[in-house]
Amino acid sequence: MKILKSLKGRDFLKIQDYSKEELWTIIKLAQDLKVQYYAGKKIIPFLSGKSIGLIFQKPSTRTRISFEVAVYQLGGNALYLNWNDLQLGRGETISDTGKVLSRYLDGIMARVYSQKDLEILATAATIPVINGLSDLYHPCQALSDLLTIYEKKGYLEGLNLTFIGDGSDNMCHSLIVASTKMGMNITISSPKEYEPNEKILEMANSNAKLSGSKIKIINSPEDAVKDADIIYTDVWVSMGQEKETKKRIEVFPPYQVNRDLIRHAPNDVMVMHCLPAHRGLEITDEVIDSEMSIVWDQAENRLHLQKAILALLI
């Protein structure tokens, strides 16, 4: 109960803001809610009578649908709010918008380009703000990924997660922080100029000293996957980076997750991708559709993990 009370009313902007114990509380509740869902049991209507605003500055499939369904399953009302359809699109400040929405809603999920904008919104709002994705972090995805790994392996501490591709993207950043919080080892394999943000690595190294996890940066993908329990990849060109497409498509092919790379990994390795996948670029059909892929369980778990976040925070 102490942890439940400590979570109520808080923002979920990045995983670093939460303790290992608090993160386990979210994961375990998500697991319980998933069991109830498949058992056909009625889920406690944690959001009965509550309205959640879902603000989208970026397009979305999984984030929008999983959050709308999550709110519905918890008995609440979800409002889809396109950034450009709000007065934000006509110059109203983010701060003013946060103050006004706090008078109408019980919580906000925002999928935005800038982490700074998200933090301005959270500072102005008097209700919980949840990060549905920003340029720096994708915390809901990363925490649901840990739920998926925990389901498959039965534990997290000491597991080896290897990220292949763009080490500077929001997904890799969130996985670095989440892994080091929970005691998982993480290896990042990317081209030299696309290695993770230095400040995030400093933060993760501090986490690692407490949790016992190890962080490695290995430019060779073949060497990086040798001890991997899980291989994780993401798109080479994220939203907002379209101008860099030509350069990135030339740089990243050696970091494709394909059968040749998998041969360097242990026989029981599992493969993850946060989706959408650009098949034939960062990952091949034969890998993403293989038995080693846990991508579809990973996608489903966004729903259950986000129900847990909504229930605990709001």
Query: Do 276 and 37 form a contact (C-beta atoms < 8 A)?
Result: no
SS3 content of the chain, % helix, strand, coil (to 5): 50, 15, 35
Query: What's the CA gap between 234 and 164, in Å, rounded?
Result: 8
Contact 15, 143 (CB under 8 A): yes
Residue that the structure tokens 């929405």 belong to: 101
Among 154, 186, 151, CA closest to 171:
186
Q: Which residues are catalytic?
A: 111, 138, 141, 234, 274, 302
Alpha-carbon distance 196 to 192, whole Å? 10
In 3D, which of 8, 38, 43 has the Cα closest to residue 26?
A: 8
One DSSP character per residue, 99-153 reads HHHHHH-SEEEEE-S-HHHHHHHHHH-SS-EEEEE-SS--HHHHHHHHHHHHHHH
Preceding peptide of 266 cis, ω within 30°: no
